[in-house]
Amino acid sequence: MVDSASKLKWGAWNSTGLLSKDNDRQRNVKLVSSLVISERFNQEHSVSRSSHQKYETLQITCQDNITKIIMNRPEKKNAVSTKMYNEIIEALEDAGRDDSVLTVLTGSGDYFSSGNDLGNAIAHSLNSQEERIRDSIIMIRKFVGKFIDFPKPLIAMVNGPAIGIAVTILGLFDLVYATDGATFNTPFSQLGQCPEGCSSYTFPKIMGLGKATEVLLFNKKLTAREACDLGLVTEVFPDSTFQQEVGAKLKAYASLPKNGNRDPLYSGGRTSIFLKDPSIPMSLTFSKQLIRGVEKEKLHTVCDQECELLTERASSDESINAILSFFKKKAKL
């Protein structure tokens, strides 16, 4: 509404109709791509950042043995852009090696995350370039894989609404704390997409097949209380005291002893990767390995299957039309 150039582009695109005929597709592709590029330019220049900062879309804090990864695009409801995907991957790699006991993911502002930045999705889809689509799916596979393999206790602080992949990855966390104002929505069918983040496996296991079907297939939005009752959320806190109460819990957890016995019995196999850093609490690490380790291979297989389907969906007319409809509704707001 405040960008006259994008508004004019939108008006030109809207006058053509929404892919009503096959021969309109390329024209619409060019116009919407122009709109996406313009919006991207505005996003990149809306916030000035210091050149010495390592991350552009994240804030990282390390205090009281806790590494906190904060998604920091509040002006875009913490939508996960390509840049943020890659930065979260790097931040998780760093957190897995540092001397913290716990790692926390949360969002800045009122949203946990509004999910995948559709500007990225439509740019990849409309370009119809197999190489770019493949690179995008490789990035998502690597992103999800970092959560599957993360060695330390991983905790989500859901400080507000969560949408799409911000919801589906929660099944890979060890604890999920939410404010009572949070909601959980996976509108994949509305966007012509399919579930990701291993949710096609974790959600039925966590909440049962029927409820998972409602959430993943029929876009049922869950309140924080409903998500807690279904097992997706560990505990719900009043919004007014959310940060303080969860912060106190995390500080208590992070005060557990850092160093454990380095039993040579565990010097080989999958657990050997955790023995490279003596600062990681061995009891927590081994306990997580016992709880999660058995399913790692299964989760990676599920992730691969989901990514294969996402590759097929990326350039489908159904998906493109659904995303274009999203932009049409967004422009009318």
* Neighbouring residues of 19: CB distance < 8 A, sequence distance ≥ 6: 25, 28, 317, 320, 321, 324
Nearest to 127 by CA among 314, 325, 312: 314
pLDDT by position in tens, the chain (length 333): 555 555 555 565 555 555 554 555 555 555 455 444 444 444 444 333 333 478 999 999 999 999 999 999 999 999 999 999 999 999 999 999 999 999 999 999 999 999 988 766 555 545 455 667 778 889 999 999 999 999 999 999 999 999 999 999 999 999 999 999 999 999 987 766 788 999 999 999 999 999 999 999 999 999 999 999 999 999 999 999 999 999 999 999 998 765 444 443 333 333 333 444 444 455 677 777 777 878 999 999 999 999 988 877 666 565 556 556 655 665 555
Number of Cβ within a 10 Å radius of residue 77: 20
C-alpha span between 222 and 65 (Å, rounded): 32
Give the chain's end-to-end CA distance (angstroms, integer): 8
- Structure token digits, residue 203: 């959600």
Q: What is the dihedral of CA 272, 278, 283, 288, to 10 degrees?
A: -50
Stretch (H or E) spanning 291? helix 282-292
Query: In terms of Cα–Cα distance, which of 176, 166, 168 is closest to 250?
Result: 176
Whole-number Cα distances in Å, 284 to 75, 94, 254, 288:
37, 18, 10, 6
Task: Enumerate the domain spans of the chain.
Answer: 28-38+53-247+297-332
Separation CA 187–CA 203 (nearest Å): 15
Other beta carbons within 10 Å of 214: 16
Q: Given CATH 3.40.50.720, say whether it is the number of domain 28-38+53-247+297-332.
A: no
| pTM for the full predicted model | 0.74
Dist. CA 7–CA 24, nearest whole Å? 20
